[in-house]
Amino acid sequence: MGIKMKKTIGELLEKEVRNLYGISISKIERMIEIPQEGNMGDFSLPCFRLAKELKKNPKLLAEEIKESLNGSNETGYISRAEAVNGYLNIFLIRELYIDSIMQKALEKDYGSSDIGTGKIICMDYSSPNIAKNFHVGHLRTTIIGNSLYKLYTKRGYSVVRINHLGDWGTQFGKLIVAYKNWSSKELVEEGGIAELLRIYIKFDAEVQKDSALQEEARAWFAKMEQADEEALVFWKWFKEISLKEFDRVYKLLNIEFDSCHGESFYMDKVPALAEELKEKHLLTESDGANIVNLDQYNMPPCLITKKDGSSIYHSRDMAAAIYRKKTYDFTQCLYVTGAEQKLHFAQVFKALEVMGYEWAKDMYHIPYGLVIMEGKKVSTRKGNILYAEDILKEAISRALTAIEEKNPELREKEETAKKIGIGAVIYHDLVNQLIKDVNFSWEEVLNFDGMTAPYIQYTCARAGSILKKADTKDIQELKSNTEYLKDNISYELIKLVGHYPDAIKEAAEKYEPSVLARYVYNLAVQFNKFYQECRILTAEEGYKEARLLLCKAVQKIIADAMSLLGIECPEEM
Ligand code: ARG
């Protein structure tokens, strides 16, 4: 569980403002910042926004609150306040703060919360398309979704992990036609997805010359929708082949799902959806197709059924949302996909809203940026793809080479290389804001220095090795002795330890694992400073025990934070 210091200070400041100015301002906690530099205080309140609300000069406001705080005897844990250029900087009584942090930080469930108890979140992520490779874009949603799943679970929610496989649609019609024209059983069995992809690309090229192919493909898909046996046998076969490859990727990443109902599961629920829309006078015919008009919301229409009556991505998603609400009664339904699907989800959510489903407001799209390879968008059609499995394997092999160079004596090299290689790829995907494009380059992903997983993992292993060298009896019997941790370097580290629950909260609430990724990097940097400046194993009595205790807290948090990102920390590196 967490330390509520920020909250406590927020409440105290609210009270001060009420006493001083007779006005209640309820969101002060959110305005409080944590200064980078220790000499700017442990917490800081920029008074600019508050001053606007109170119609006062910010400098004066900071000054007045400071005077009042320093004169008050209610603030048991504040040592002093300072006003600097419109900022109110608050310094805590170190001993008290250290003590409260150290006690919490060593609890088993530090950083957990029960805020989500009894609430269900549907998390739709990964969702690759059958018969197409699992490429870097799908790798990103898989990594992001997995981290959000872990973050929300840590906050007490029950999360249903949903892999909404792209296993239905006109592309299967194309694939059947392509298979019949340019492939064979042997070729597909041998080549797997690569062969399916080859003929899919070939279809796209051939259709430019012969447009009749398009009609043929459409007809085959229509057959699938009518449960034609021959069509379905093909479809099942293509699906099996694809799932084998996907499973290999999931295994490498250590990822599982609670539901793998793909789009095919919802196609027979679309007629009922269309019927319901009709009854609600929301269905309009347009060129033989059926749509929901969204003109008044400035959006193109949401397609429900096509000319030939078949379902489509939009309507299958609407049917899926209704099914999920019925099945899970979610409090939130989240979708992690590339930003290019923003409009799609806006249409789906709006169409459900106009149907009168008030829970449509509980659905959120979490968009992420493109994966760019040497300046080009990754695209299946153009063939410039980077496959997830290749990337992960390459990362592991490069990690193994690095281990051979740096630490050839290491035990469990293969296992460790896996944790390092996969960790590096995951961290690289999560360290920046989701919406930013990721520039994929081997040098950056596998840079073992700087803001990377290997740097953080190495720090964790270093802390672990210090603890191993110490007498375990010493560590277990330790009582936190705050006297020995008051120096600036230890104190800065302890404060970071204390911010862990807030980092989790912020990352979850903003749907931004990057908040946690950056937090844990800062923690590692500060720990390495502490390690360089403060002797641990050779320190005098009192100091040694207290520092070991701090070391233990940091190691535990790094490992825990990394696991919330989906990354394992090897014991040794
Ligand atoms: N299969 C889709 C794609 O690869 C993503 C599906 C996302 N989930 C959903 N419910 N639409 O683009």
The DSSP output letter for 117 is: T
The whole-number average pLDDT for the span 377-391 is 67
Query: Per mean pLDDT, which range of 264-268, 331-335, 354-358, 441-445 is the poorest?
Result: 441-445
Q: Can you give the pLDDT at residue 377?
A: 61
The whole-number average pLDDT for the span 226-252 is 95
Q: Write down how long the chain is.
A: 573
How far is 243 from 350, CA to CA, in rounded Å? 32
> Residue 10 above 60 pLDDT?
yes
Secondary structure element (H or E) that encloses residue 90, with its range: strand 87-92
- What's the gap in Å between 167 CA and the centre of ligand 1? 10
The whole-number average pLDDT for the span 371-391 is 68
Helices first, then strands: H and E counts in the chain = 24, 13
- Closest ligand 1 atom to Cα of 338: 12
Nearest CA among 538, 567, 423 for reference residue 469: 538
Q: Whose CA is nearest to atom 8 of ligand 1?
A: 164
- What's the gap in Å between 467 CA and the centre of ligand 1? 46
> Residue 378 above 60 pLDDT?
no
**pLDDT one-digit tens code per residue, 207-225:** 999 999 999 999 999 899 8
Q: Whose CA is nearest to atom 9 of ligand 1?
A: 164
- Closest ligand 1 atom to Cα of 345: 11
Q: Can you give the pLDDT at residue 36?
A: 86
Nearest CA among 443, 529, 549 for reference residue 105: 549
**pLDDT one-digit tens code per residue, 138-153:** 999 999 999 999 999 9
Percent helix, strand and coil across the chain, each rounded to 5?
Answer: 60, 10, 30
The whole-number average pLDDT for the span 526-543 is 94
Q: Can you give the pLDDT at residue 215?
A: 94
> Residue 67 above 60 pLDDT?
yes
Q: Can you give the pLDDT at residue 308?
A: 83
- What's the gap in Å between 344 CA and the centre of ligand 1? 10
> Residue 1 above 70 pLDDT?
no
The whole-number average pLDDT for the span 169-186 is 94
The token pair that represents 30 in the structure block = 């959110």
Catalogue all structural domains in the chain, each as residue range(s) with its CATH number: 5-92 (3.30.1360.70), 388-565 (1.10.730.10)
- Contact predicate 318/276, CB 8 Å: no
Q: How confident is the model at residue 382 (pLDDT cuts 50, 70, 90)?
A: low
- What's the gap in Å between 127 CA and the centre of ligand 1? 5
How far is 311 from 290, CA to CA, in rounded Å? 10
Residue to substitute in 142, 261, 341 for testing ligand 1 pocket (most ligand atoms within 8 angstroms of CB): 341
Q: How confident is the model at residue 304 (pLDDT cuts 50, 70, 90)?
A: very high
Nearest CA among 379, 276, 377, 372 for reference residue 318: 276
3 state DSSP class of 440? strand
Q: How confident is the model at residue 155 (pLDDT cuts 50, 70, 90)?
A: very high
Rounded to the nearest integer, the mean pLDDT of the chain is: 92
Q: Whose CA is nearest to atom 11 of ligand 1?
A: 317
Read off the pTM.
0.93
Which range, 73-77, 202-206, 309-313, has the best average confidence (pLDDT)?
A: 202-206
Quote the percentage of the chain above a pLDDT of 90: 80
Cα 240 from chain centroid (whole Å): 28
Q: Whose CA is nearest to atom 4 of ligand 1?
A: 128
Residue type (1 letter), 113: S
Nearest CA among 302, 274, 306 for reference residue 289: 306
ipTM of the complex: 0.99
Q: Can you give the pLDDT at residue 73?
A: 67
How far is 408 from 196, CA to CA, in rounded Å? 42
Q: Residues enclosing ligand 1, CB less than 6 A? A: 124, 127, 129, 164, 166, 317, 335, 337
- What's the gap in Å between 396 CA and the centre of ligand 1? 28
> Residue 3 above 80 pLDDT?
no
> Residue 472 above 70 pLDDT?
no
> Residue 448 above 80 pLDDT?
no
- What's the gap in Å between 165 CA and the centre of ligand 1? 7
Q: How confident is the model at residue 379 (pLDDT cuts 50, 70, 90)?
A: low
More confident residue, 115 or 479: 115
- What's the gap in Å between 319 CA and the centre of ligand 1? 14
Residue to substitute in 164, 171, 322, 371 for testing ligand 1 pocket (most ligand atoms within 8 angstroms of CB): 164
Please state, in angstroms and as integers, the Cα–Cα distance from residue 48 to each residue in 29, 30, 82, 173, following that order: 14, 13, 16, 61
